[in-house]
Amino acid sequence: MSDEVRTGKNFKPKLELRNLRMEYLVREGSIKAVSGVTLFVDEGKITAIVGESGSGKTSLVETFLKILPRNARIRGGEALLRLSSGEEVDLIKADERTMRRLRGKVIGYIPQGAQNSLNPVLTVEQHFIETLRNHGLWKPESSMSEIHSMLSLVRLDPDTVLKKYPFELSGGMKQRVVIALTMILKPELVILDEPTSALDVFSQRVLLNILNDVSMKYRNTMILITHDIPVVAELADRLAVLYAGTVVEVGNTYEIFKEPLHPYTSMLISAIPSVADIYVKRIPKPVPGEPPSLLNPPPGCKFHPRCPYAVEKCRTSEPPLYEPKKERFVKCWLYSGGEKL
Amino acid sequence: MFRKRLIKALQSISVEIPNKSMISLVGESGSGKTTLGKILVGLVMPTTGELSWENTVVVKDGRIVQKDFYLSNRHKFVYVHQDPYTALNPSKNVKNILEPVVRKYKKHLSNADRFKYIRELLEEVGLVPAEYFIDKYPHHLSGGMRQRLSLARALITDPHLIVADEVVSMVDPSIRVSLINLLKKIVENRGTSIMFISHDLGAAVYAAGDNPMYVMLKGLVVEFGPASEVIYRPEHPYTRALISNIPVPLVLSERRVRGLDGVMESARNPNVSSPCPFSEMCPLLDSECSSLTPGSYLRVGPDHYSLCVKAGKLPKWRPSWLPASPG
């Protein structure tokens, strides 16, 4: 995207990641989990970050939330968050006090498997009260009705669920309680890590509807991290495809599915076997090879060992992010005629 | 070729696995897929019913009959586990994982031939170049590679049947299809039969193709038939609901989340009690459903059977993600 489009009158991304880099130090060397990620997250939309295991999806989020394990080192870049108050914070430079102020109230994060993080000795009601009190938002006169409407939004019956302990709820119900707990603080940015995995087909569909409802009602910015491309096809407005720690393609979900530009995106979409195959007479085609090791990533474009279009240039130098079409960004030399970000 | 029948955790299930083909078994967690798979290879004893290997009854009503035949043949009926991260000994390298098994089941091989055999085996499962992989430890390998190694180990006994339990669910989406293609190649080249167990309907259909697919729910098989037929013309409300509600990698319009289709979110009609495993969620539940008998199926097409008492009379249907005009 040309900067004038973005920095113009009224269009500023909620979150702006620029050239973010992070490594894990391990005995064998360093794992380049996030290597130069540039991504703009639009306000009020659902942006999905998709990638296979080890592509650095969770590491990316943990980097700008600064909740990394001790062997992780941030090697540069910025993560600019624009608050509704007009304040702009670079999360990478922010100190721990600022981060504490933002976490929960401004940024809600639901890690993978969060449904197992409910306290087994507290009822659902006590969870809500504790959460609101700890953030100084508990109002005796109005909070209870807010909790009720929030639980209804996630399609739980407040009267029965509030008095229950986590062990009395199913996995899908606990998941929804966690979403309600996050949303009760009205965060401006919500990040959900693999919210649909480990759910059966019907609970997954209900959850997709709930997330859609929540996004429509609160108009908050959502980041959805997942490896499940079909889920993203329905729920996300925008899609960022991650490969080996770097964003290879960003754009509108519909546009990307209609016409994927990066060879990896296109191969990934056609590699997924689906029940729809029988109806549309499609045969899934495997992506050759395996994802690279991030300990010794290949030089140049990280996808070149698996790419059918790879030329000499791809093996030696890493392509920049091009914008061959409006609002479509691709990190691939095939589009070197396009505008550079 | 193999047949068995049992009740309770699994109820009135009969499965026949044809020679030299891959069939698939789908169901959500807790539906009894793994239990059924383990029964097929003799790892779990059914309370009642029979298990036959190559037309010989080996297990009957929870007891092993034909003990000699069972013991001398059970290595021909192998099981490959879901999790490639725990199925392999982390302190042994590839050579040491495979070699003891080769020693046991390929006694005639000399030392040199044994290594040649291991190399060929690695090449067969796509771990090439074999020289590169032979001294690697499991932690050097990706999930897909480990799954290939687990398969290589299972192939050493030249099995008649491989029960592949969720072998693709823990590997990356981009390499799932290549793993299934490997299974297809094994069926084709070796004449092995494979029971492909998965909760992923898309993968199960791709694996079975026109071979049988069994759809399980709460310990019962609700529908079975040629996989492509079961998906294209499902004749059980559960199968229909599954197909309709699964997210598919097709985007037909701007963001549009489909609602729950063909499923009741909360139980209705408490007056009807039916042994049907889908009765609590089925929108078509009525008094007719109480006459259902587990194990008795209605034929709805060539080799295609449904447990639903309304099968064949179900309303016209198409998946909610399919555009209105037939394409």
Model pLDDT for residues A201-234, shown as the tens digit of each residue: 999 999 999 999 999 999 999 999 998 888 888 8
Model pLDDT for residues A176-192, shown as the tens digit of each residue: 999 999 999 999 999 99
Contact B61, B45 (CB under 8 A): no
What count of other Cβ atoms lies within 10 Å of the Cβ of residue B292? 18
Q: How far apart are the first and last CA of chain A?
A: 6
Mean pLDDT across B240-264 = 83
Reference A16, options A67, A71, A92; nearest CA is A92
DSSP A304: G
Residue B179 pLDDT class (50, 70, 90 cuts)? very high
**Chain A residue with minimum CA distance to B142:** A290
What is the b/e burial string over B261-291, where b = at least 16 CB atoms within 10 angstroms of the residue's CB?
A: bbbbeeeebeeeebebbbbebbebbeeebee
What count of other Cβ atoms lies within 10 Å of the Cβ of residue B19? 11
Flag whether pLDDT at A315 surpasses 60: yes
pLDDT value of position B205: 96
Using CA atoms, how far apart are residues A121 and B301, in angstroms rounded to an integer? 54
Any residues with CB less than 8 A from the CB of A86 and at least 6 apart, and which? none
Mean pLDDT across A247-254 = 94
Residue B4 pLDDT class (50, 70, 90 cuts)? low
Nearest CA to CA, how far is A92 from chain B (Å)? 31
Residue B36 pLDDT class (50, 70, 90 cuts)? very high
pLDDT value of position A5: 42
Nearest CA to CA, how far is A55 from chain B (Å)? 10
Residue A279 backbone phi and psi in degrees, to 5: -80, -40
What is the b/e burial string over A250-280, where b = at least 16 CB atoms within 10 angstroms of the residue's CB?
A: bbbbbbbbeebbbbbbebbbbbbbbbbbbbe
Taking CB atoms and an 8 Å limit, are A202 and B245 in contact across chains? Answer: yes
Rg (CA), chain A: 21
- Using the Cβ of B250 and the Cβ atoms of chain A, whether some distance falls under 8 Å is answered with yes
Which of B:114-173 have CB within 8 Å of A? 142-145, 172-173
pLDDT value of position B245: 93
Q: What is the pTM of this model?
A: 0.89
Say what percent of chain A tops pLDDT 90: 80
pLDDT value of position A113: 87
Burial class (CB in 10 A: 0-12, 13-18, 19+), B40: buried
Average pLDDT in chain A: 91
DSSP B109: -
Model pLDDT for residues B6-15, shown as the tens digit of each residue: 446 688 889 9
Taking CB atoms and an 8 Å limit, are B281 and A202 in contact across chains? Answer: yes
Q: How far is CA A42 from CA A6, A83, A143, B181, in A?
A: 10, 13, 30, 40
Question: Among partner residues B172, B254, B259, which is closest to A291 by beta-carbon distance?
Answer: B172
Which residue did the predictor score with more confidence, A136 or B171?
A136
Beta bridge partners of A45: none
- Using the Cβ of B232 and the Cβ atoms of chain A, whether some distance falls under 8 Å is answered with yes
Residue A6 pLDDT class (50, 70, 90 cuts)? very low
Flag whether pLDDT at B160 surpasses 90: yes
Say what percent of chain B tops pLDDT 70: 94
pLDDT value of position A336: 86
Question: Among partner residues B242, B248, B257, which is closest to A212 by beta-carbon distance?
Answer: B257
Determine which of B35-49, B117-131, B235-249, B265-279 has the lowest per-residue pLDDT on average: B265-279
Using CA atoms, how far apart are residues A14 and A42, in angstroms rounded to an integer? 6
pLDDT value of position B267: 63
Model pLDDT for residues A13-66, shown as the tens digit of each residue: 999 999 999 999 999 899 999 999 999 999 999 999 999 888 899 999 999 999
What is the b/e burial string over B200-226, where b = at least 16 CB atoms within 10 angstroms of the residue's CB?
A: bbbbbbbbbbebbbbbbbbbbbbbbbb
Best B228, B239, B240, B255 residue to mutate vs chain A (most A CBs within 10 Å) = B255
Ordered domains of chain B (ranges, CATH)? 22-209 (3.40.50.300), 234-306 (no CATH)
Model pLDDT for residues B40-49, shown as the tens digit of each residue: 999 999 888 8
Residue A289 pLDDT class (50, 70, 90 cuts)? confident
